[in-house]
Amino acid sequence: MPYDQLSAHTGAWTRRPTREVGLVFVETTAKGRRRPYHKQKLALILANQRQFALEQAARGVAIDYVMADTDYDVALAGPLARHGTLECQRPAERELRQTLAPLVAAGRIDEHPHEGWLTTRAHFEASHNGPPYRMDAFYRHVRRATGILMDGAKPAGGKWSFDAENRKAWKGTPPAPEPPTFVADDVTEEVGQLVRDRFADHPGRLDLAHLPATDADAAQLWQWARQSCLPQFGPYEDAMSVRSRGLFHTRIAPLLNLQRVLPLAVVRDVEALPIPLQSREGFIRQILGWREFVRHVHEATDGCRTGIGSEAIAGTTPLPAAYWGTVSGLTCLDRVVADVWEEGWSHHITRLMVLANLASLLEISPRELTDWFWVAFIDAFDWVVEPNVLGMGTYALGQMMTTKPYISGAAYIDRMSDYCGHCAFDPKTTCPVTPLYWAYLARHREALRDNIRVAMPLRSLDKRADARRQADARVFAVVSEALAEGRPVQPADVVRALAD
Ligand SMILES: Cc1cc2nc3c(=O)[nH]c(=O)nc-3n(C[C@H](O)[C@H](O)[C@H](O)COP(=O)(O)OP(=O)(O)OC[C@H]3O[C@@H](n4cnc5c(N)ncnc54)[C@H](O)[C@@H]3O)c2cc1C
Ligand code: SF4
């Protein structure tokens, strides 16, 4: 039973009489030590795995729970000797598939299809002829194939996407919900202690009160999401605020990715909610569209290693200390980074338009950024974090799964958030993010030359006076140098770079 398949509703074993079933779990420090994972992420995975094993034991399922310091294939030697051939649903993670591949090849593990996805490889292939891949085409195909949010052959409400209506900034109303809290029982407390003792050198804050660990906790979180988040989900989907880290986002991804909550149940529940269609469609597109799409792209491209598209842009600058919590002086970045180390999570737009946007503008190595996301976010696993960071957050895969780099200057951040009001920089005059944006376009003008989706900004770039373009490049140098040295960017330095 892989750590991310913690459901009693998927897999051949769930259709057999309980007394005939035995589950083998592996808990190994080798996995936890592979990267410096956020403490909350280690606790989330270990607590859910232990609680799930106990829940199944209580139903009468036999449990073989192996504690190890070695990788999975080695740790499974004991169970293989005790039970003979084991069965397993195909792991979602490429890393785990690779570890188990020799055992699968040798017939020691009998691999079955993963039943936790909403779509199959056939859906993906029927919507595409190979790279480039486009989420819209896949999503429309799957809506038609499944009948989800359909009125006969037409999309409900007459449109496939209501994205254009989902771009409101949030000014404090309606009030954003507080995330639910959970009571950590002895099992979860013990995991917390283990993480404190054995992973003391790992980053991030451990917060058991906000850690859903049991089946009941998962149900409670989803109930909160449906009641308190979903009604306002659509309109404020892209908003960011210092006053609320999550706004109306559900924080369900960590549990979806462990299968504590199943995507089919989530989609069915949301389809039936008496809330505006723009919120229902907006949310369902994320689960049925984006989530399924990225995992197909990951698998079809050997984990984003093949099929890289034209125009790919990949910086080589090491990830600055600012991403590990050293103050950068840029409030948007500092605020979101602080949120991430506090909770192991931040919402989609903060990931895309702050963390990844600034990394792109600063020519940070996409691989280093991906590895950072992987350790820092409690919902990060290779199948989801690699396409999202390499393909969407940065433009390291070029046209493979997106049509243009998702980059912006300060105007977007100012419009969609209240960060700038708390910043030493002025988004309209001294903020370095806008010159960084122009400097990025100037550096990559040639690569993006034929991209019609960036034609407008490139025309504006061409009209930008030489003196301003030189100032853009100087700001890039000043900001890059400060961050490389782990110093905050000083407004006076930026003002000088703009004026020189
Ligand atoms: C740079 C970057 C890195 C990301 N890394 C991850 C990651 O490591 N793990 C992860 O689960 N998501 C990742 N995402 C996608 C998305 O940001 C998160 O799924 C979402 O923020 C999780 O919070 P939530 O459950 O409150 O989301 P909500 O907004 O409340 O719900 C939307 C749900 O849709 C799904 N979803 C939406 N967009 C995506 C997407 N692009 N890919 C996959 N699922 C999606 C998630 O399951 C999410 O729970 C990343 C996005 C970007 C831009
Ligand atoms: S002014 Fe610039 S650096 Fe400051 S928060 Fe706004 S966009 Fe970020």
* Per-residue tokens: 475: 């700001």
pLDDT score for 370: 98
pLDDT score for 164: 79
Q: What spacing in Å lies between the alpha carbon of 434 and ligand 2's midpoint?
A: 9
Nearest protein CA to atom 15 of ligand 1, as residue: 348
pLDDT score for 167: 83
- The Cα angle at residue 129 between residues 124 and 131, in degrees rounded to 5: 85
In the numeric block, the tokens 């908003």 are attached to 239
Per-residue pLDDT of the chain (500 residues), as tens digits, is 999 999 999 999 999 999 999 999 999 999 999 999 999 999 999 999 999 999 999 999 999 999 999 999 999 999 999 999 999 999 999 999 999 999 999 999 999 999 999 999 999 999 998 899 999 999 999 999 999 999 999 999 999 998 877 789 999 999 999 999 999 999 999 999 999 999 999 999 999 999 999 999 999 999 999 999 999 988 999 999 999 999 999 999 999 999 999 999 999 999 999 999 988 999 999 999 999 999 999 999 999 999 999 999 999 999 999 999 999 999 999 999 999 999 999 999 999 999 999 999 999 999 999 999 999 999 999 999 999 999 999 999 999 999 999 999 999 999 999 999 999 999 999 999 999 999 999 999 999 999 999 999 999 999 999 999 999 999 999 999 999 999 999 999 999 999 97
Domain boundaries, the chain: 12-112, 121-300, 321-499
DSSP string, 188-232: HHHHHHHHHHHTTTS-S---GGG---SHHHHHHHHHHIIIIIHHH
Yes or no: say if 393 and 356 are a contact pair by the CB < 8 Å rule.
Answer: yes
Yes or no: say if 420 and 431 are a contact pair by the CB < 8 Å rule.
Answer: yes
Ligand 1 proximity of 385 Cβ (cutoff 6 Å): yes
CB crowding 155-168: b at 16 or more within 10 Å, else e: bbeeebbbeebbee
Q: What spacing in Å lies between the alpha carbon of 55 and ligand 2's midpoint?
A: 47
pLDDT score for 257: 98
The amino acid sitting at 217 is: D
Closest ligand to 380 CA? 1
pLDDT score for 76: 98
d(CA 234, CA 157): 15
Closest ligand to 369 CA? 1
Q: Best of 422, 423, 498 to mutate for ligand 2, by most ligand atoms within 8 A of CB?
A: 423
The amino acid sitting at 498 is: L
* Per-residue tokens: 398: 């070029």
Ligand 1 proximity of 251 Cβ (cutoff 6 Å): yes
Q: What is the largest CA-CA distance in the chain?
A: 78
pLDDT digits (tens, 9 = 90+) for 301-315: 999 999 999 999 999
Task: Please give the number of the atom of ligand 1 that sits closest to the Cα of 295.
Answer: 43
pLDDT score for 188: 98
d(CA 496, CA 383): 44
Please give the CATH superfamily to which domain 321-499 belongs.
DNA Cyclobutane Dipyrimidine Photolyase, subunit A, domain 3 (1.10.579.10)
pLDDT score for 377: 98
pLDDT score for 500: 78
SS3 63: strand
Residue 247 phi/psi, 5-degree rounding, is 45, -120
CATH topology of domain 12-112: Rossmann fold (3.40.50)
pLDDT score for 130: 81
Closest CA to 419 of 239, 288, 219, 189: 239
Contacts (Cβ under 8 Å, ≥6 apart) of 263: 116, 117, 118, 256, 287, 288, 291, 292
CATH code, residues 121-300: 1.25.40.80
